[in-house]
A and B are shown apart, each in its own frame.
Chain A
Amino acid sequence: MFCGRKCCLFCLFMSAWGFLMLNLLGIFFYVQSLMLLESLPLPHHFPSQEAFKEQADEAYQDVSTRCFVAAVFYLGFVFIAIVAIRRDNKRRKRLYKRGPGHLRFRR
């Protein structure tokens, strides 16, 4: 296959981590967490407080949607990695079934 077993396990770990963390980040952006304010694409000066609130709300919403969509893509990668690992396990079982035959022939 295109990817070895260790590479599949690595992709599974990274995708699972990405899915979990991006979902959490999406939730925190959705509830407008103060810790994540610095990560928003906002200018440094605003004409008024209402303008700041409007732009911040809009940025929070956009980044939250982006995080959730990215998490869905990472979930897809998780499934791809799981399918690849299962296929590799089946292939190993098939190789193992030849073992007794080989030993029998040798005996």
Chain B
Amino acid sequence: MRVFKKRQTKVKSFFRSEDMDLCQLLLHTENAFDCLIEVGHHGAVQFNNVYDEDRLLNNLYSKKVTQCYELLRIVDSLHTYIVQLHVNEIFYPDVDRENRLKEKDLAKYSDSLKRIHVEASAVTEHYYRLDSRRNRMMEHSFALNKANKYMVSDMGSELLYSESTVIGLVQDATTTSGAYPAHLNYMIGCIRADKFYSFELLLYRLCSFNLIIRFSEMPSPVYEYHYGYKPERVRKFAILMMASSTMIWPKVLKICAHYHVNIYDCPSSASQREDKVKELSQEIVNVEKVLKEAELMRRQILEVAGRDLFIIRVNLRKALKVYDLMNRLRLVGGVEVPRYLLAEVYIPSSDVPEVEVILRNASRISGGADNIDSSDEDEMNDMKTMPNTTPYPIEADFQPLEDMSAGAILLKKNRLVNHMPPTYFRLNKFTRGFQNLIDAYGMADYKELNPAPYTIITFPFLFAVMFGDLGHGILLILFSSLMIWKHREIEKYQINATSENEILNILYAGRYIILLMGVFSVYMGLVYNIVMAKGFNLFGSSWSCRYNETTVYDPAFHVTLDSSHPHFYSGHPYPLGMDPVWAVCGQDSITTTNSLKMKMAIVLGISQMMFGLGLAAANCVLMNRKADLILVVIPQMIFMLCLFGYLVFLIFYKWMSYGGHKPAPYNAACAPSVLITFINMMLMKKEDPVENCLDYMYPNERMIEFALVGIAFCTIPILLAGKPIYLMRRRRKMQQERERDFKRMRRQTIAEMRSTMRYTDDDNSETSRQKSVDNEEEHEMSEIWIHSGIHTIETVLGSVSHTASYLRLWALSLAHDQLSDVLWHMVLTKGFANTLPLYYGVPVLMATFFAWAILTVAILVMMEGLSAFLHTLRLHWVEFQSKFFGGAGESFKAFNFPTSNQRS
């Protein structure tokens, strides 16, 4: 047996996908099942192309698949019986570890299931038969009771019905009068309540008044048993039919047969009827005793079945999955006796040694379904050779050979293939939540940079920019900490719950995201100086208000904050975040915070987009796509830097150079508008300066701006024509090489050339075409030029729209702030701003606080939090990832058994 060289493979972080090895897996038919069971539990092997629609089955295991389906049907039938009788089916949480399936166990499952099924079916059939018999006797007894009560009523009074009176009624309805002897015939039975009315109507139309029907409902519904259906509770009517002539009874009996009426005997005299009723009552009691014992036996059998039914069901489902997979593998070996199954698999490189160990152990421990006889033969051989000690060395030598021939073989493929390997990230419970956010948009290409590591910081941060509030952040931290602290109880609850709680699953999967969102919200609450909609003053405000009483009461004077006077603004900014004066200065607060937050949104948005372009450059370097780097990414970066990077520079320069407390021409009156400056830069026009102000923000501003616009517009032709020209030149060079060396030209398909970010230089993908070279080039080049034009337009216009899209950071922050303020003033202030005495004010305050707290959690934390979450998600999916993320990969779908829980 060949020994693999175990090269040192370090486990990479999840910045890029794991290295994938393409392997050939050769399994012996004797132990393939057990090997695949172990591989399924490990969950690190992906079988390629086995679930395609046009995949041919080898039909070696079709019988096994059918057998598993049959056994699962028996399991479902037993489960139905168990549910009917409310028998306890035992649940084993550790079924995946302690009750691992082996192929020899399937025969045991088959035998035990069939035996239990036969016993349960027989006992159930017996029970149903006894119950039907009891029901019929109860019906008979009830019908007799009612008939007897009706018949003997003539002893009481002449006003009631009597036999002679009924005879008179019946005779009056007929045409004959007194021709027949006076004799009354009657019949009793039981019919279903839902059929009685049509039955009565039919008899009336057939017999008219020659037949009189009386009915009474039985006190309780009874069960009806039909083969193959569930027992059904139905209401029953006991009926009494009386007629003077015996000629109509055959017709009535036929109708009764069609309506499934149970006809019962009715003795003529009252004493005989009473004796019959007593006899039936005694018989009912006896049958009920037997029924009780039958039910006890039935329950015992089902309890024995319920003891192992969960394990059997879980393992049968796994066996079904494995046999279906084995049925799809390719058979190799001799033509007459195929003995091996061949599969092409992808395994993460760092998991290959572990998979080899698993396959070796499974091969050694395995006992196939056909090995029972061989083990018995071994025992017999041991008994025979007990007196002799000579053959032992021979057996010791023979064992490794057999093990080697029957073992599974895993070979790595070194030949390159056309298709992209699957993408696999090794995650833990912290990083899985963030990776799920990215995978919901698209799976990364193989070896493409993964956005998830950077999302760990940028996602909660941008959420906090919109949601920032110290108190609300603390609530998020408490909630996520509770889920993290109780994670073992929550997982146990998820395993044992009989119905799935989807909201809890989503929140539990994202508990670390919520924790980081809370932490960053606390930070932004400190920056915004807001806690539960109220500002706080930690370091002392830099502003003060000094007016005397005469000035305040002067109606002509307008009270305002004059930042140019040292009595109002001390000139030293607040150390951390916004000055708390903006929370109390009224209308000026909106003006100031809007300006600040809009500029902050622009700065953060452009920073994130530039970071995305940096990742695009790193992606091109790592994937060896130099043409894309030089002709696509770098022009994009230059374009963004010259225009929108300059916008960020203008914002910071204005903040640092101008101020209300500075002398002219750098005071508030002379501060130019950044937006107007930017628009004038793009339109290349000048405006007249304001009086006593400079006409520029810094020296040579106009010249620099024109130069930047020129450079930005120079990159657009590179974006448009750079790559098509490069492809044309490369094709021409390849054509010359082909003509010179008589080699086949390596052409790129249109699908690959349409990709602007993924430029594959696949030398092994040689495709021959029947078309001529000139026609093909012309067709493909037109496609390439069209696509390049579209990409250029998208880049230029997308820069503007994506920058504007980041203004939602300001919009949602403003909305959250105003909603918090409205909730405080409309709800909680009603507990403060009243002049009630103490024993009235305290309950009012308690009630208003309770309402305010509930509304804070329901509206500000839940609804506003969800809104900020969705907007942050869109900013990441569209504005950030569109710069560098292809997202066209396939995820690594390992052959894996999901964790068993109560519902499986």
Contact = CB atoms under 8 A, between A and B. Distances in A.
A66 interface: yes
Interface stretch (B439-447, B661-669, B759-767, B840-848): B840-848
Given A17-B853, A36-B534, A40-B833, A70 B549 contact: no
A18 B584 CA distance: 25
Contacts of A81: none
A40 B842 CA distance: 15
A50 to B, nearest CB: 9
Interface in A68-96: 69-70, 73-74
B832 interface: yes
Nearest to A72: B842
Q: Which 8 A-B residue pairs are closest in the complex by CB-CB distance?
A: A41-B833, A39-B832, A70-B845, A66-B841, A39-B829, A69-B842, A70-B846, A70-B842
Interface in B817-852: 824-825, 828-829, 831-835, 838, 841-842, 845-846, 849-850
A63 B828 CA distance: 13
Interface string B582-602: 011000000000000000000
B842 A73 contact: yes
B535 interface: yes
10 contacts: A14-B850, A35-B580, A35-B583, A36-B832, A39-B824, A39-B828, A48-B549, A63-B832, A66-B832, A73-B846
B845 A41 contact: no
Given A14-B850, A63-B832, A34 B584 contact: yes
- Pick the most buried of A14, A17, A40: most chain B CB atoms within 10 A of its CB: A17
Interface string B517-546: 000000000000000101111000000000
Contacts of A70: 842, 845-846, 849
A interface majority secondary structure: helix
Interface of A: 14, 17-18, 21-22, 34-41, 48-49, 62-63, 65-67, 69-70, 73-74
Given A66-B841, A69-B842, A70-B842, A41 B853 contact: no
Nearest to B303: A106
Interface of B is mostly: helix
- Most interface-central of A14, A35, A49 (chain B CB within 10 A): A35
A41 B834 contact: yes
Contact of A66 (B549, B552, B842): B842
Given A18-B849, A41-B834, A67-B845, A49 B584 contact: no
Nearest to B830: A39
Nearest to B835: A41
Given A21-B532, A22-B845, A22-B849, 11 more contacts: A14-B850, A14-B854, A35-B535, A36-B534, A37-B584, A38-B829, A40-B833, A41-B835, A69-B842, A70-B849, A74-B846
Contacts of B532: 21
Nearest to A41: B833
Nearest to A25: B832
A36 B828 CA distance: 12
Interface residues of B, number: 28
B850 A18 contact: yes
Contacts of A14: 850, 853-854
Contacts, number: 60
A61 B841 CA distance: 13
A65 B535 CA distance: 22
A81 B170 CA distance: 79
Contacts of B549: 48-49
Contact of B534 (A35, A69, A73, A74): A35
Contacts of A41: 832-835
B849 A35 contact: no
Nearest to A69: B842
Contacts of A36: 534, 832
Given A34-B584, A66-B842, A21 B829 contact: no
A73 to B, nearest CB: 6
Interface string B66-79: 00000000000000
Given A69-B838, A70-B846, A39 B833 contact: yes
Contacts of A34: 537, 584
A97 B132 CA distance: 43
Contacts of B853: 14, 17-18
Contacts of B831: 66
A21 to B, nearest CB: 7
Identify the interface centre among B583, B845, B850, B853: most chain A CB within 10 Å of its CB.
B845
A25 to B, nearest CB: 8
Contacts of A63: 832
B393 to A, nearest CB: 50
B540 to A, nearest CB: 12
Nearest to A49: B549
A7 B157 CA distance: 67
Interface string B557-582: 00000000000000000000000100
Contacts of B583: 35
A19 to B, nearest CB: 10
B849 A66 contact: no
A36 B552 CA distance: 22
A66 B838 contact: yes
A74 B853 CA distance: 13
Contact of B845 (A35, A40, A66): A66
A37 B585 CA distance: 12
A18 B846 CA distance: 8
A37 B535 CA distance: 12
Contacts of B832: 36, 39-41, 63, 66
B849 A21 contact: yes
A76 B591 CA distance: 45
Interface in B839-883: 841-842, 845-846, 849-850, 853-854
Contacts of B835: 41
Contacts of B846: 18, 70, 73-74
Interface-central residue, B829, B838, B846, by most chain A CB under 10 Å: B846
Contacts of B838: 65-66, 69
Contacts of B584: 34-35, 37
Contacts of A49: 549, 552
A88 to B, nearest CB: 16
Nearest to B834: A41
Contacts of B845: 22, 66-67, 70
A85 B831 CA distance: 30
A55 B320 CA distance: 82
Contacts of B537: 34-35
Interface in B689-736: none
A34 B537 CA distance: 10
A61 to B, nearest CB: 12
Nearest to B840: A66
B530 to A, nearest CB: 10
A63 B472 CA distance: 24
Contacts of A73: 842, 846
Nearest to B833: A41
Contacts of B824: 39
Contacts of B535: 35
A97 B715 CA distance: 78
Nearest to A66: B841
B854 to A, nearest CB: 8
Interface string B465-500: 000000000000000000000000000000000000
B817 to A, nearest CB: 14
Contacts of A17: 853
Q: Which of A21, A36, A39, A69 has the most CB of B within 10 A?
A: A39
A74 B850 CA distance: 10
A45 B583 CA distance: 22
A35 B833 contact: no
A8 B505 CA distance: 23
A4 to B, nearest CB: 16
Q: Which has the most chain B C-beta neighbours within 10 Å: A37, A39, A66?
A: A66
B128 to A, nearest CB: 28
A73 B845 CA distance: 11
Nearest to B552: A49
A35 B536 contact: yes
